[in-house]
Amino acid sequence: MSNADTTPIAPEPLARQRIIQYLSAPGAAIGMTLLVVIVLLAVFAPLISPQNPYDLMQLDIMDGRLPPGSESYSGMPYYLGTDNQGRDILSGILYGLRTSLIVGVFSAIAAALIGTTLGLLAAYVGGRTESLLMRLVDLQLSFPTILMALMMLAVLGKGVQNVVIALIIAEWATYARTVRGTALVEREKEYIEAARCLRLPRWRIVFRHLLPNCLAPVIVIATMQVARAIGLEATLSFLGLGASVTEPSLGMLISNGYQYLLSGYYWISFFPGIALLVTIVAINLAGDRLRDILNPRNI
Amino acid sequence: MITSLIRRSIQALFVILAMTLIVFIGVSVIGNPVDILINPDANAAERTRVIAHYGLDQPLWRQYAIFLQGLLHGDFGDSFVYGRPALGLILERMPATLELAFSALVIALVVGLPLGLYAGLYPDRLSSRVIMSGSILGFSLPTFWVGLMFILVFAVELGWLPSNGRGDTAELFGVRWSFLTGDGMRHLLLPALNLALFKTSLVLRLTRAGVQEVLPQDYIKFARAKGLRESRVISVHVLKNLMIPVVTIIGLEFGSLIAFSVVTESIFAWPGMGKLIIDSINLLDRPVIVAYLMMMVLLFVALNFLIDICYTLLDPRVRMDGRA
């Protein structure tokens, strides 16, 4: 996904060069490969998973808490075991990945859109708008994300949609601060002056000229933020504030297994956790390399 | 120095006021505590009585005024669930959370600083690479899942350590602490390690980055050229210049440790504030939620204030900027 994002900035040969440069680091290559596999698994979850874990009709309580490798009554293998409601853990993970990825990607993109717009606005307009916006950013960044999210959930109530809203509100400030920093530097450069001399409309200068040159750090933060958002969504779901029990996300699956952990049913929590871990590590590996290449300031 | 202190205090007061407004309006407008307080079978008279008792029939600005007044007296109202003052409930559980967060901070520093220093001084060694990869893992591992795995391995499989509660406590300064008794220490170890995991990686990476930034500087070369012993160069010239980012992190992260202890406390059934707030959100216990959030706002404003002062003391350049 990162490669596609850089194409509009760079002409074709440079883009190809960049891709090769990007994949030359083993960590990044592994991360990217894992990421592609994970996304494919999530997208095609309904086709490949043995069971639809959200369809209560397909669940049989008699199959509850079976260890990995056992078979269902009808002979279907449960490779990773089942949870307390007889839900196949493997299917649960595949479907849970979808929720996690959607929440992560959507909240990161929405926060990036809002944060970037406000950051650009602050840098270009300046004056009172800028100081007001930046005060708000400072205020928000002085509180940890999880506290902001808890605050939002205390206000909005539980549920996945509210988790997404909470994540967006908790994360936009990072983008705003970074974009403003970059834009302040870019604004003084000659091409912006040239655009101004041509008497281009202000929105055109901001969005066609300034924005593309401030994108590199945004892309890097957004990648990292997807991983953070996925982790945070899982955490909030684990605390019982996110996804519902009938349509579990990865965090909810882990939470389900928590109460059976002391009885030795380790697999209910263990495997979804591994899936979560691999997803986050893959995104971080891919993002780390992206940061090295794009090397933005202010992070 | 004094003018900047005063200016910062005024700013801090404004922040607190703004947050009271946001928290109050948010919690009052959206959640409806009447529904959970009153038995659905209750008659209209009973409903009115309860609503009046909690002041929920007043206009919002009035409720806010009452709330602000209460705030100044440290009175957030009684918990809907426990029927006791919300602030008291929170203060009662605060030592447990502080103890946990502080232990985690100590672990993060004791482990993170030396490892980061090592990885920064000898970046090409294999052991440094292993340390750095480990720290990526520390960032990526979801804290709550690691907590579960700790329980699984150390409590269920090996049976070495207990998995929930505070264990025996001993009294010091009128408050009960776990770390003073052997049993309490055993109870503290797993949650503290769990909470420290992320911060250790952070301190480690920060220290390493700092070392690599400081090492090529002229004053380090000069110190070496003077023939100072390497240990002195590192302990005085390198470490001292690392202090600014590390102090900021210690301050800021202590607050975030308290915020994140919500997760760890829920896993290890550690009876602190975090566990209380999660239960309260689930039960829509408004006074406790508001009291907790306000405590957090106060805490973070105070922390930021302290960090600013430390900055000024540590770095003369900041002091100059403040005057200009």
Q: Where are the domains of chain B?
A: 2-72, 89-314
pLDDT at A6 over 70: no
Query: Which chain A residue shows the shortest CA-CA distance from B159?
Result: A262
CB contact under 8 A, B148 and A227: no
pLDDT of B323: 41
Query: Tokens in use for A135?
Result: 């005060």
Q: List CB contacts of B303: < 8 A, sequence separation 6 or more.
A: B251, B252, B254, B255
Q: Is B283 on the interface with A (CB under 8 A)?
A: no
Q: Which residues pair with B78 in a beta bridge?
A: B85
pLDDT at A237 over 80: yes
- Output b/e per residue, A223-253; b: 16+ Cβ within 10 A: bbbbbbbbbbbbbbbbbbbbbeeeebbbbbb
**Mean pLDDT, rounded, for B110-124:** 85
Query: Which chain A residue shows the shortest CA-CA distance from B25?
Result: A155
Give all domains of chain A, ordered by start, each with its CATH number. Answer: 89-298 (1.10.3720.10)
**Distance in angstroms (rounded) separating the CA atoms of residues A52 and A37:** 20
Sort out which chain A residues have CB atoms less than 8 A from B140's CB and list them: 227, 277, 280-281, 284
The model's pLDDT over B283-305, given as tens digits with 9 standing for 90+, comes to 777 778 888 888 888 888 888 88
pLDDT at B320 over 60: no
Rounded (10°) angle between helices A250-261 and B143-150: 20
pLDDT at A1 over 80: no
pLDDT at A62 over 80: no
Q: Which position has the higher pLDDT, A85 or B69?
A: B69
CB contact under 8 A, A258 and B293: no
What secondary structure letter does DSSP report for A84? T
**Distance in angstroms (rounded) separating the CA atoms of residues A298 and A294:** 12
pLDDT at B70 over 50: yes
Name the CATH architecture for the domain at B89-314.
Answer: Orthogonal Bundle (1.10)
Q: Which position has the higher pLDDT, B83 or A6?
A: B83
Q: Which position has the higher pLDDT, A188 or A106?
A: A106
pLDDT of B40: 61
Query: Tokens in use for A203?
Result: 């929105």
**Distance in angstroms (rounded) separating the CA atoms of residues B291 and B304:** 20
Q: Tokens 């997404």 label which residue?
A: A164
Q: List CB contacts of A171: < 8 A, sequence separation 6 or more.
A: A107, A108, A111, A115, A145, A225, A228, A229
pLDDT at B316 over 70: no
ipTM over the 0.90 cut-off:
no
Sort out which chain B residues have CB atoms less than 8 A from A270's CB and list them: 149, 152
CB contact under 8 A, B140 and A227: yes
**Mean pLDDT, rounded, for A4-11:** 51
pLDDT of B255: 81
A88: left (phi over 0), alpha (psi -120 to 50) or beta: beta
**Mean pLDDT, rounded, for B31-59:** 68
Nearest residue, CB atoms, B148 vs list A157, A241, A273: A273
**Mean pLDDT, rounded, for A16-42:** 80
How far apart, in Å, are the Cα atoms of A140 and each of A133, B261, B297? 11, 20, 11
**Mean pLDDT, rounded, for B54-79:** 76
CB contact under 8 A, A269 and B148: yes
Which of A144-153, A278-287, B36-45, B122-131 is predicted least confidently?
B36-45
Which residue stretches of A202-262 are H helix?
202-204, 211-238, 250-261
The model's pLDDT over B239-281, given as tens digits with 9 standing for 90+, comes to 877 877 777 777 777 888 888 888 888 888 888 888 888 888 8
Q: Is B304 on the interface with A (CB under 8 A)?
A: yes
Q: Which position has the higher pLDDT, A74 or B132?
A: B132
DSSP symbols for B27-88 = HHHH--THHHHS-TT--HHHHHHHHHHTTTTS-HHHHHHHHHHHHHTT---B-TTT-SBHHH
Which of A60-64, A226-230, B32-36 is predicted least confidently?
B32-36
Calculate what percentage of chain B has a pLDDT beyond 90.
0
**Mean pLDDT, rounded, for A194-219:** 84
Rg (CA), chain B: 24
Question: H or E stretch including A78?
Answer: strand A77-78
The model's pLDDT over B162-202, given as tens digits with 9 standing for 90+, comes to 777 776 666 666 666 766 666 777 788 888 888 888 888 88
Q: Tokens 């834009």 label which residue?
A: A183
Instruction: Say if residues B176 and B170 touch (Cβ distance below 8 Å).
Output: yes
CB contact under 8 A, A151 and B266: no
Nearest of B112, B142, B94, B301 to residue B206 by alpha carbon: B112
Which of A105-114, B75-84, B115-124 is predicted least confidently?
B75-84
Instruction: Say if residues A45 and A38 touch (Cβ distance below 8 Å).
Output: no
Query: Tokens in use for B131?
Result: 């340390």
Q: Is the pTM of this model over 0.95?
A: no
3-state secondary structure of B177: strand
Task: Note the Cα B101 to chain centre separation in Å.
Answer: 6
pLDDT band at residue A2 under the 50/70/90 scheme: very low
**Distance in angstroms (rounded) separating the CA atoms of residues A49 and A43:** 11
pLDDT band at residue A72 under the 50/70/90 scheme: low
pLDDT at A110 over 90: yes
Which of A107-121, A228-242, B73-87, B134-148 is predicted least confidently?
B73-87
pLDDT of B324: 34
pLDDT of A114: 93
